[in-house]
Amino acid sequence: MAKHHQVLIIGGGTAGIMVAAQMLRKNPKADIGLIEPAEIHYYQPAWTLVGANTYDYDKTARSMASVMPSGVNWIREYAETFDPENNKVTTAVGNEFTYDFLVVAPGLRMAPELVKGLPEAMDKNVICSNYTNPVHTWEVLKNFTGGTALFTQPTTPIKCGGAPQKIMYLASDYFRKHNLSDITDVVFATPGSVIFGVKPIAETLMKVVDRYDINLRFHHKLVEIDAEKQIAWYEIGKDVKAGGCVVISGDNDGKGVDESIQYNYKDVKVTQEGNRYGIHFDMLHLAPPQAAPKFVANSPLANEGGWVSVDDQTLQHTKYANIFGLGDVAQLPTAKTGAAIRKQVPVVVGNILHLIKNNSLGNKKYDGYSSCPLVTGYGKMVLAEFVYGSKFKPDPKLKQFPLLIKDSSKEHWRLWILKKYILPYLYWNKMLKGIEV
């Protein structure tokens, strides 16, 4: 016999916990089931700081039991199959759960297998990632003695698109403070064609790039990691929208370099084989490719890319009216961040409560707001805030903190205080408790 819940939530990350907590605040008698097998809940935004030894990793973890809102039926199992026609979810151990409304928010998964050689190389020796093991990132940084420091990101969507840059700026600042800048070339290889898609932020970041003397290599498509030889292999894809590569044409002194592909050229060792370019590195930080969890990607809820297909504004599923998706797993044309979830949750909760009461959607809409706190050095930060269409749009709610400054698109130490102290406090004490901030 399937167990029934009025609202069934998949995922106990930021999105799932916040939906449950906000719903219970608005309707304390709500019957909510939440499927989540993990025993630990992490505050992942602080992992950027852990990788640069300016935040304690242990403080980013709390027990799932401590953040689970009281009144929620916590189902400690893995969701495995969806049967939306019959309002049913089956778990990996075969238990069945039915629902009136389903909220799908299991986040995404790391998919290193999408780059040849990466699964074996992850988090070993001089290859590190704040996404998977920020403690190892600090070990790599601490033991670095000069050479090519390569930072890169994949062509897939990733959590917080700015994170691969943040650790690069912190590392560059670290190199300066430890007299390593003169013997180090910092290279950022990205599939994009610009440093950041929001113009005022990009302008600020290019000044940061100049300050640290960073070599940007656009249109990179990472295809293979040779851990033994310490080479990251890229394909050229300047005309490929999703990503691409670095091309060095002409002499190795930087003349004849295609400037739409290279900015601030550095003559680091590059091996060419056919249409592939291998950048030799002495340390490599990467964001691994990321994808939707397989049980979602293989389900009737997914679009062609494997993500949950929802309406951009209402977050209601495009086919099933009683299903909503949000957070990293949702197919939304904005950045996958906790800040985005902060704005998505009230829309999902409002719409479900309106459907329960009036059998129609409410008037709450999500405008695509997301933000990326771009740490640009120890004690410095820029806050990239934007909505659909990559339009810069600061959140008026953040202005209520007297500590903050008028223009979040410029670097400031007060924004660092926001990142390191205020946001973690708000996360644990307000957001996860269902208080809208």
On the CB side of 395, how many CA atoms lie within 13 Å of its CA? 21
For this structure, is 160 an active site residue? yes
Say if residue 136 is in the same domain as residue 277.
Answer: yes
Structural domain boundaries, residue 131: 112-286
Asked if residue 120 and residue 102 are part of one domain, the reply reads no
Residue 434 lies in a domain: no
My answer on whether 174 and 276 are in the same domain is yes
Are 188 and 241 part of one and the same domain? Answer: yes
Q: Among the listed ranges 177-191, 227-241, 319-333, 370-384, which one has the minimum average pLDDT value? A: 227-241
Q: Which of the listed residues 229, 252, 286 is the one where a domain comes to its end?
A: 286
Would residue 167 count as lying in a domain?
yes
d(CA 206, CA 263): 10
pLDDT in tens, 377-409: 999 999 999 999 999 998 887 766 655 567 889
Q: What CATH number should be reported for the domain holding residue 19?
A: 3.50.50.60
- Same domain, residue pair 135 and 278: yes
User: Are residues 332 and 257 part of one domain?
Assistant: no
User: Looking at the domain assignment, is residue 55 inside a domain?
Assistant: yes
Mean of the per-residue pLDDT values of the chain? 93
Q: Are residues 131 and 259 in the same domain?
A: yes
Q: Which of 21, 50, 110, 160 is catalytic?
A: 160
Instruction: Please tell me whether residues 140 and 222 are part of one structural domain.
Output: yes
Residue 372 domain-assigned (yes or no)? no
Q: Residue type at 415? A: L
C-alpha Rg value of the chain to the nearest Å: 22
Tell me the pLDDT tens digit for each residue of 213-265. Answer: 999 999 999 999 999 999 999 997 764 333 222 233 333 444 455 777 899 99
Choosing from 258, 286, 314, the residue where a domain stops is: 286
- Within this chain, do residues 20 and 99 fall inside the same structural domain, yes or no? yes
Catalytic residue among 20, 30, 231, 372: 372
Pick from 340, 360, 338: nearest CA to 351: 360
- The number of distinct structural domains making up the chain is 2
- 388: in domain: no
Residues 18 and 119 in one domain: no
pTM of the shown model: 0.94
274: left (phi over 0), alpha (psi -120 to 50) or beta: left
Residue 383 lies in a domain: no
- 427 located within any domain: no
Task: State pLDDT tens for residues 63-96.
Answer: 999 999 999 999 999 999 999 999 999 999 999 9
Would 390 be classed as within a structural domain? no
Q: Is residue 343 domain-shared with residue 357, that is, in the same domain?
A: yes
Last residue of a domain, one of 331, 366, 401: 366
Q: Are residues 277 and 141 part of one domain?
A: yes
Question: Looking at the predicted structure, is the pLDDT value of residue 116 above 90?
Answer: yes
